Amino acid sequence: MAGNGVFADILDGDVYKYYSDGEWKKSSSGKSVSIVNPTTRKTQYKVQACTQEEVNKVMETAKVAQKSWAKTPLWKRAELLHKAAAILKDHKAPIAECLVKEIAKPAKDAVTEVVRSGDLVSYCAEEGVRILGEGKYLVSDSFPGNERTKYCLTSKIPLGVVLAIPPFNYPVNLAVSKIAPALIAGNSLVLKPPTQGAVSALHMVHCFHLAGFPKGLISCVTGKGSEIGDFLTMHPSVNCISFTGGDTGIAISKKAGMIPLQMELGGKDACIVLEDADLDLVAGNIIKGGFSYSGQRCTAVKVVLVMESVADALVEKVNAKLSKLTVGPPEENCDITPVVSESSANFIEGLVMDAKEKGATFCQAYKREGNLIWPLLLDNVRPDMRIAWEEPFGPVLPVIRINSVEEGIHHCNASNFGLQGCVFTKDINKAILISDTMETGTVQINSAPARGPDHFPFQGLKDSGIGSQGITNSINMMTKIKSTVINLPSPSYTMG
């Protein structure tokens, strides 16, 4: 059970504690932040409202802990990460329970998120041991005008304190995708979880605590963005920020100092369907890609661009599958569960009403109860409708009928987002040409967009992000290259 057994330490009365200097603590603010269950719309949990002084203290200990962690052998860092991964997986049930209550993730998907996170941590430990154990050796005489009098040795060094800010939709998985690379690379880590998802994240952090990481190396502060948000992201002790979320990321990147940023800020992933596509395959992927976790994924299919000649057939197939989706509470493993908050549901409704006024075809009647929105396919959407461009982050999917592939590519590229996209066709040559033309970080051929497997590079163009994620890229991003140059008094050539 959440907050029980090995997790009893993290709870004080009905308020979850924050984690600093290797201990679970109550905030001196005496205040808490409530977390509303999206299904019941009642307060489910409470977390500490940390103060700026507490953030300062966390940063101080993170800086000290990092110095000795950087001197900890790589194999030992990996060993601790493997231990944390195993503990995380052992406690998948209570953590999944929090995901169900805080973010209304369907029960089965909640368990999958925790298991996937354990696997990610283990893979990261292994990858880190491999790639951080290697450097480069360069000689000077490959550059014109030089003799071989200099040997350059390069290695990857940690950045210092990494600030990780994951989003509500994967508060565990997108936290460990930042924590594990930071730690294996020799950094310390300060986590600011999303309010909705904070309790799942606190349970996950406790698994790292139980694994025995040194005091102060990992910290987790909770609280109001208005009180500690900017304070954290602009803190002089932070040497790197890894953020996943919405527009806030744009504001963070404008305010952050001269530090490396890793940002993933959403998408409007297009699904381009050609005339020769396998329509059953497309329909299945539209359902999976557009409606899993009720469309609350940055990589969800967010607009279907289908050739007019096959549009009727595709819409019919999608509607048939859509009618089979179950709608209800996450505890019952329904496919469509309440969206994360009332404001989110209102925003989605706004997009739907705009499309209605402008004449979109409703394939189903619009239905909403509280935060629960029934899945909806909107056909004959036109570019003057908001839903053609904005991300609903909900179970509502627009279909735009196109008369040429160029029209589809044009729509995809006119978006301010550029995360992923997908193209369905049996002609691989055409698919490659289209993929090359789409201005997105990834194009999936004959499958829905997705971040995983978690070691694949994951990046967005334009407003979708900065830098690339995926295990290897994240480890590299959280390090810097350091060179040592050996200068010889006279040229020396091997076997010369």
Structure tokens at 320: 């048939």
Q: What is the enclosing helix (H) or strand (E) of 486? A: strand 479-487
* Using rule CB under 6 A, residue 301 touches ligand G3H: no
Closer residue to ligand G3H in complex, CB, 333/447 = 447
**Nearest distance from C-beta of residue 434 to ligand G3H, angstroms:** 21
Give the active site residue among 54, 264, 390, 391.
Answer: 264
- The rounded distance, in Å, linking the Cα atoms of 109 and 292 is 9
Question: Collapsing DSSP states into helix, strand and coil, what is residue 116?
Answer: helix
Structure tokens at 208: 């790292």
- The rounded distance, in Å, linking the Cα atoms of 364 and 345 is 17
**Nearest distance from C-beta of residue 178 to ligand G3H, angstroms:** 12
Give residue 77's Cα distance to chain centre.
24
Closer residue to ligand G3H in complex, CB, 69/393 = 393
Closer residue to ligand G3H in complex, CB, 168/213 = 168
**Nearest distance from C-beta of residue 477 to ligand G3H, angstroms:** 16
How big is the site for ligand G3H, counted in residues (CB under 6 A)? 8
Q: Measuring CA to CA, how many Å separate 58 from each of 61, 166, 274, 336?
A: 5, 18, 53, 39
Q: Measuring CA to CA, how many Å separate 283 from each of 25, 286, 311, 316, 378?
A: 50, 5, 11, 9, 14
* 298, 301, 387, 397: which one binds ligand G3H (CB under 6 A): 298
**One-letter amino acid of 261:** L
Cis amide bond preceding 449, omega within 30? no
**Nearest distance from C-beta of residue 331 to ligand G3H, angstroms:** 21
**Nearest distance from C-beta of residue 96 to ligand G3H, angstroms:** 16
Closer residue to ligand G3H in complex, CB, 239/464 = 464
Closer residue to ligand G3H in complex, CB, 2/164 = 164
Site for ligand G3H in 406-465 (CB under 6 A): 450-452
- The rounded distance, in Å, linking the Cα atoms of 113 and 174 is 9
Q: Are strands 32-36 and 23-25 parallel, antiparallel or unpaired?
A: unpaired
Closer residue to ligand G3H in complex, CB, 170/208 = 170
The stretch near ligand G3H (CB under 6 A) out of 136-144, 214-222, 295-303, 331-339 is 295-303
**Nearest distance from C-beta of residue 350 to ligand G3H, angstroms:** 21
Closer residue to ligand G3H in complex, CB, 293/424 = 293
Question: How many CB atoms sit inside 10 A of residue 86's CB?
Answer: 15
Question: Collapsing DSSP states into helix, strand and coil, what is residue 230?
Answer: helix
Structure tokens at 141: 């005489």
Q: What is the enclosing helix (H) or strand (E) of 305? A: strand 301-307
* 32, 299, 442, 444: which one binds ligand G3H (CB under 6 A): 299
* Using rule CB under 6 A, residue 302 touches ligand G3H: no
Question: How many CB atoms sit inside 10 A of residue 492's CB?
Answer: 12
* 44, 122, 169, 195: which one binds ligand G3H (CB under 6 A): 169
**Nearest distance from C-beta of residue 269 to ligand G3H, angstroms:** 10
* Using rule CB under 6 A, residue 297 touches ligand G3H: yes
Decide if 264 is catalytic.
yes
Structure tokens at 334: 């329904």
| CA-wise closest residue to 250 among 238, 236, 235, 266 | 266
Q: What is the enclosing helix (H) or strand (E) of 274? A: none
Binding residues (CB under 6 A) for ligand G3H: these are 169-170, 297-299, 450-452
Residues annotated as catalytic (active site), given as ranges? 264
